Structure 1
């Protein structure tokens, strides 16, 4: 198993890229567990207020996967270490009336405490940005507290235009039109994430099969 060349290649890719997978309806419960595990300070940084458990449950329940895009980073136990949520708006902030040509995308991200400093937040942001670019969305928007050092670092690194007011920061990234290279880049990252997911699923199934039943 250790000498498998495919596993060695996957291990090298993991060192360079954090696998970011698009999430769907089947992941809703994983998302809920991820958000509920955030402490009060992490909830404040993610949502701008300290949401109670029932408010988080309502937020996760209302996510529409046919309209919004959600990305996640999973560990070996299929627990979400990070979640990035793209909500699409028109130029006036309306969600329902947005069309492809006049939309902006609002991005929110959370990372589990155990996964900090591993590039998870940056990987989620980059995945969201390339998806927006390939969807002909010209502006990626983030709103967060100015005290959120991680998001401020990501925003500055990406070259976002940042406006601060009353302890909050609005960050804007103007995206170029899609190109063959950007389309290929997104396809590669999604395929890599799917392969990583399949390897983890197979490993998990093998462990369950080899573990004696009590």
Structure 2
């Protein structure tokens, strides 16, 4: 899904798509670019680079799924769906991170919508999210998607009833995955094929 979004007075061009295992480094680099406040908002506490390196290394597995806002080949925002390894519980956890200069542009909403679709298609009926009380942007996002918020001293938990899969949600994700995988395949071709051979293969 390619979009033009306007953030802080600038028009930005990028796409929301799934990230694959081969793109784990893009996700890691995104996390490492997060400023201290954004890191604290994402993880609920201060974290260092070593923590983020390890987190990125273990994110792409059986129990996790990542969607991202990708602009010029760089991840600027990410949404994670966790809990797929315990699908019998029909619950999952959602988490989000958007780099400072890319906020207030609708990226978080698009990522959230994509994550809810993925959750529905996998039989996840209840989606949980947690944020710090002072994270007003995340609370607004939760309200937009009709999350029930339960406040606490240290954090706020949001609960979203996702509903079941439909032919439309399944088709939507399938088309999105096909497009995202095609993008990945092309980037791998460019990385490993000699430029002249790639140009000849593409009919240039």
**1:66 matched to 2:68:** no
1:102 aligns with 2:98: no
How far apart in 1 are the matches of 2:174 and 2:57?
A: 29
Whether the aligned pair in 2 keeps the contact of 1:141 and 1:173 (CA below 8 Å) is: yes
Distance in structure 2 (CA, Å) of the matches to 1:26 and 1:193: 12
Is 2:121 the counterpart of 1:134? Answer: yes
Taking the aligned partners of 1:54 and 1:87, their CA distance within structure 2 comes to 21
Which residue of structure 2 lines up, in the alignment, with residue 19 of structure 1?
15
- Name the CA distance, whole Å, in 2 between partners of 1:190 and 1:64: 16
Once the two structures are superposed, the pairs formed by residues 167-186 of structure 1 within 5 Å of their partners are 167-186=154-173
- Is 1:36 aligned to residue 25 of structure 2? no
**Is structure 2 residue 69 aligned with structure 1 residue 80?**
no
Query: In the alignment, which residue of structure 2 is the partner of 1:212?
Result: none
Partners of 1:115 and 1:54 in 2: CA distance: 24
Task: Count residues with an aligned counterpart.
Answer: 186
Return 60-69 or 33-42, whichever deviates more: 60-69
Unmatched 5+ residue regions in structure 1? 1-9, 90-95, 210-214
**More strand by percentage:** 2
2:105 partner SS: coil
* Stretch deviating more after TM superposition (174-183 or 58-67): 58-67
Looking at structure 2, the residues matched to 181 and 30 of structure 1 have their Cα atoms a distance apart, in angstroms, of 30
TM-align CA RMSD: 2.8
Residue among 108, 114, 117 paired with 1:121: 108
SS at match of 1:162: strand
TM superposition score normalised by structure 1 = 0.76
For normalisation by structure 2, the TM-score amounts to 0.79
Instruction: Give 1:82 deviation, angstroms.
Output: 0.6
Are the counterparts in 2 of residues 85 and 107 from structure 1 also a CA contact under 8 Å? yes
SS at the partner of 1:20?
strand
Compute the displacement of 1:192 (Å): 4.9
Give the equivalent residue in structure 2 for 1:151: 138
Partner Cα separation in structure 1 for residue 89 and residue 62 of structure 2? 18
Q: Distance in 2 between matches of 1:111 and 1:43?
A: 10
